[in-house]
Chains A and B, each alone.
Chain A
Amino acid sequence: MRRRRWPLTTAAVLLLLFIYVPLLVVVLYGFNGGSNLSWPPQGVSLRWFRLIFGDDAFRSGLRVSATAALATGAIAVVVGTAAAFAIVRRPNRVARWFESGSRLPVMLPPLFIGIALVAAMKTFAIDPSMLTIIAGHVIITTPFVILIVASRLRNYDLTVEQAARDLGATPRMVLRRITLPLIAPAIFGAMVIACAISFDEVLITNFTSGTTQTLPLFVLSRLRRTIDPSVNAVATILLLVPWVVVGLTLLWQRRRSGAAAVGAPAEELARAA
């Protein structure tokens, strides 16, 4: 059967360009030597990076965002992995209820989570702080951890565990020596994704941060002014940090366990809807 392939291929290439060109433009102009945001870029320089790294507000924002991202990743991965175990290994009505309940925060616009947290903070007289920032981030990242780890646990060969038990391993040994090492890449990948989401989160953080400024909030405050080329450098950092970390993780997982591991977080992320 003859198929005309080029229209679909062309469309796919154009769509990929549409996705990537704006992202690459940010990075390109982050290293721009001139101060005009017009074509062509004027030489390569690190002047905008030097400029922002000299800015106290930027450095403190970076520190706050990095702290929030690491804390969020750690909490979300513990809560999510524990829940994923219960959901997959004891699949009853309660587990199903928890699984769909955990997706609620991702299905609501972040604005709703943000203003709901404001309501709770007003009611219980909780002041905005790093803790409220992290709470907001944990809510929206835990569902991703559950998705990714649960999917790994579901596509996993249980006979390995049975074999270990037959050979006399205690349940604790099976968990430590068999189960956890096998699902470790998925857990790590989930944590990285949680950190990346937290690092970039602004829609909820805007309501939960009070006077603390995260890196995205720093960008937001700069966006309110006119176009400022140093924002390119900050935006480049916002993009590159998660990209490098997620990219390295994907490559590492791919080397460890074949292409399936790359597809798995992707497809599991996809099922979030």
Chain B
Amino acid sequence: MSLSRRLAAFLLTPLGALLLLAVIVPLAMLFAFSFFHINELLQIVPGFTAGNYRQVVTTSVYRVYAVNTLLIAAPTAIASIVGGYVLAYYLAFRAGRARGILLVAIVIALMGSYLALIYSWRTLSGEHGIINSLLQAAHVTRGPLGLILFSRTAVVIAETNFFLPFTTLVLYSSLSSIPPSLEAAARDLGASRWMTLRRIVFPLSGTALFGATLFVFFLSAGDYITPVFLGGIGSSGTFGTLIADQLSTTLNYPLGASIAFVMLALFAAVVVLLRLGMRAAGLLPEHTG
């Protein structure tokens, strides 16, 4: 039963108000703030200066943060996508009767606590942590291994752990719409296993791959808690931690706002590059929006 125009407008009003008041206006204010500056008393002075942006683009220390962000977000995105693809492929084509229960397990893991995971990786990976003491109790190693805690690797592992259920579900939803007969047909026509994946399965799930990769990449780059608690000092400062620091430590809010928009611009560049790359590889159709 379709709705009258007036009723539809009425039903969309709360969402419209929410998006306007709690998302669009705040983002516009954030953009305005990025052109303000602070005085000696750390008060925010309205005005129009491109000084913050100039500072972000020209100061070399921000390049270190950019590189760190890339070195954390890119491996996290790749690991989450590869792992998620394997799991989703298994769920879609091989899981059989176990599929229902496995899907529930993954949805429940998706509801797993972000902070509990960070905490868990801290207790697991320390020098006297659970992994080391388990290895010693099992007489695999004698002394504690210098494990991964307080490094970029630790951040990547924990974030991948957090994003995997998500990428699995996105990719599963795409893979499960591919009829298994397509794969069978390709194999019957003599395509190798790899060829079938490369020419049939990957392109048909290309849009989901594209979306999920960007999603994980962007959220990982904006994560400001995992790098602080699992990363090493100096090697794990990301744009996320940098922006959060401007708000909580140095209190230079306008600078934090401008870093956020520089990050957004860099992210747009990543979107364009990934799209071009995936098109060149035949994983995305030539003309999608």
List residues of A whose CB falls within 8 A of some B CB: 1, 5, 8-9, 11-12, 15-16, 18-20, 22-23, 25-26, 29, 37-40, 78-80, 82-83, 85-87, 89-90, 94-95, 98, 101-102, 104-105, 107-113, 115-120, 122-123, 135-136, 138-139, 142, 146, 158, 161-162, 165, 171, 174, 193, 196-197, 200, 202-203, 206-207, 216, 219-220, 223, 227, 231-232, 235-236, 238-239, 242-243, 246-247, 250, 254, 259, 262-263, 265-267, 269-273
Contact = CB atoms under 8 A, between A and B. Distances in A.
Q: Which of B22, B23, B26, B108 has the most CB of A within 10 A?
A: B26
A36 B112 CA distance: 24
Given A174-B1, A250-B104, A263-B103, A223 B119 contact: yes
B257 A220 contact: no
Nearest to B126: A227
Given A116-B23, A135-B22, A270-B173, A220 B164 contact: no
14 contacts: A15-B83, A25-B130, A40-B137, A89-B3, A98-B16, A109-B222, A111-B224, A200-B111, A203-B225, A223-B122, A231-B119, A267-B169, A269-B169, A273-B215
Contacts of B224: 111, 203
B11 A19 contact: no
Contacts, number: 281
Q: Which of A82, A193, A247 has the most CB of B within 10 A?
A: A82
A202 to B, nearest CB: 6
Interface stretch (B48-56, B58-66, B86-94, B278-286): B86-94
A82 B137 CA distance: 57
A85 B3 contact: yes
Contact of B22 (A94, A101, A139, A272): A139
Interface in B29-82: 29-30, 32-33, 44
Contacts of B104: 247, 250, 262, 266
Q: Which of B32, B90, B129, B221 has the most CB of A within 10 A?
A: B90
Interface string B153-197: 000000001001110011111001000000010010000000000
A120 B29 contact: yes
Given A18-B164, A111-B224, A139-B23, A95 B8 contact: yes
A236 B117 CA distance: 11
A9 B219 contact: no
A176 to B, nearest CB: 13
B150 interface: no
A54 B19 CA distance: 40
Given A83-B14, A203-B225, A263-B103, 14 more contacts: A9-B94, A19-B106, A23-B112, A23-B120, A25-B130, A37-B123, A112-B27, A112-B264, A120-B26, A161-B1, A174-B1, A223-B118, A262-B100, A270-B166
A101 B247 CA distance: 27
A200 B115 contact: yes
Q: Which applies to chain A's interface (DSSP): helix, strand, loop or mixed?
A: helix
Interface residues of B, number: 97
Contacts of B126: 227
Contacts of A216: 113-115
Nearest to A199: B113
Contact of B15 (A102, A136, A247, A271): A102
A99 to B, nearest CB: 10
A190 to B, nearest CB: 13
A265 B100 CA distance: 12
A46 to B, nearest CB: 18
